[in-house]
Amino acid sequence: MSDILTETPADSHALFTSVLERLTRRESLSAAQAESAFGIIMDGAVSSERIAAFLMALRVRGETPDELLGAVTALRQRMNAVPGLPSDTVDVCGTGGDNYGTLNVSTAVAFVLAGAGVPVAKHGNRAVSSLSGASDVLGALGVPLLAEVPALQRQMQAHRAIFLAAPNHHPAMRHAAQARKALGLPTLFNLVGPLVNPAGVTQQLVGVFSPSWLRPVVDVLGRLGSKRVWAVCGLPRIGHGGIDEMTLAGPTQVEALENGHIHSFVVEPEMAGLAYAPVSAIQGGNAQQNAQALNALLRGAHGAYRDTVLLNAACALHVAGRINLVREGQINPHALKDGVAEAAHTLDNGAALAVLEGLRAARPADRPER
């Protein structure tokens, strides 16, 4: 059979129809084929109804790593990049799609990292399958979501943190927004989001909603040039599946790209000196409620939210190269406890809060000129 998607027919509608026909036969797409299909979506050449059919066909059959690679490649080619940032900039971002509705963990971790002197380009979006996405809670906190590169570069230099709202940098994603919202289910786009950071970071802590996607996420990022990646999926003892962050509610499965090699290990909260807590202990709400919790955290509030952030921040400090948690391919509990203590110090000394207050205070000056 000829490879119909390696050709370039003028009729995108016919090309996309051929994609749907393949999927109805439960056939997989190669990376190049998936890139073509997602390119058609990103270029606005197909209806929302057909996009929804495409995404559901992938979900029902089961998405493949090559399809993820193709989708990521298509979107990276169309994004508004943010160059000129420090080479050691990191991202902490989750896929979403776990349906637990927790407080915003990775956004809080970004403030802790910046407070510790780590440059952070936090990629995020508004809620799609949850109540409060990163952009929602940042808006409620009064943090500017800048779009122009010079303003972002100044913000990074001043505060060691920038927040990259997906709509500002991935305008092509608007063509899939209606279909994603209508489905209300995690799709391949949930996995794509953390893999298309506009700053081109090569060091990432990626929360993934399913353990089956940990290795593919690491493989894709490795193939695209990332240097150090931890893909993590928490496995609550009481719950309905994986959670897209390191958790206190059970073990966390980790696939880690380190020095060109991939290691697999499990992190238990007690290894970090932290107490077990169910996911319900960090149950979130709307953007305003989550913003209040995050603000309280930065001002010294203790509890399961703080401890969850500390666990994730300690591992993110490793990904940033500031500490070393891995020995002979396995987690070092003593080093992990030290990392938690370092993250706690950044909260307790007010450095993380200072990042938030600096971003708020700088808002008028940092707005792009018109």
Token pair 């390191």 is at which residue?
246
DSSP 312-352: HHHHHHHHTTSS--EETTEE-HHHHHHHHHHHHHHHHTTHH
Is 89 assigned a ligand-binding role in the annotation?
no
**Does 237 belong to an annotated binding site?**
no
Residue 199 burial (10 A CB sphere; 0-12, 13-18, 19+) = buried
Q: What is the dihedral of CA 139, 141, 145, 150, to 10 degrees?
A: 160
Q: Which residues contact 173 (CB under 8 A, 6 or more apart)?
A: 42, 75, 166, 167, 189
Judge whether 212 is annotated as a binding position. Answer: no
CA angle 210, 211, 214 (to 5 degrees): 105
Does the annotation place 105 within a ligand binding site?
yes
Residue 124 annotated as lining a ligand binding site: yes
Residue 228 annotated as lining a ligand binding site:
no
The first and second tokens of residue 326, run together, are 């891995």
135 is in an annotated binding site: no
Is 102 annotated as ligand-binding? yes
- The answer to whether the annotation marks 97 as part of a ligand binding site is yes
227 labelled as ligand-binding?
A: no
Is 231 marked within a binding site?
no
Determine whether the annotation assigns residue 244 to a binding site.
yes
- Residue 130, annotated as binding a ligand: yes
Of how many residues is the chain composed?
370
The answer on whether 295 is annotated among ligand-binding residues is no
122 is in an annotated binding site: yes
**CB-based contacts of 113, cutoff 8 Å, min separation 6:** 90, 92, 120, 161, 313, 316, 317, 320
User: 134 a known binding residue?
Assistant: yes
Tell me: is residue 123 an annotated ligand-binding position. Answer: yes
- How many Å apart are CA 112 and CA 349, to the nearest integer? 11
Binding site for Mg(2+), by residue number, is: 106, 244-245
Binding site, by residue number, is: 94, 97-98, 102, 104-107, 122-130, 134, 180, 244-245
Binding site for anthranilate, by residue number, is: 94, 125, 180
Binding site for 5-phospho-alpha-D-ribose 1-diphosphate, by residue number, is: 94, 97-98, 102, 104-107, 122-130, 134
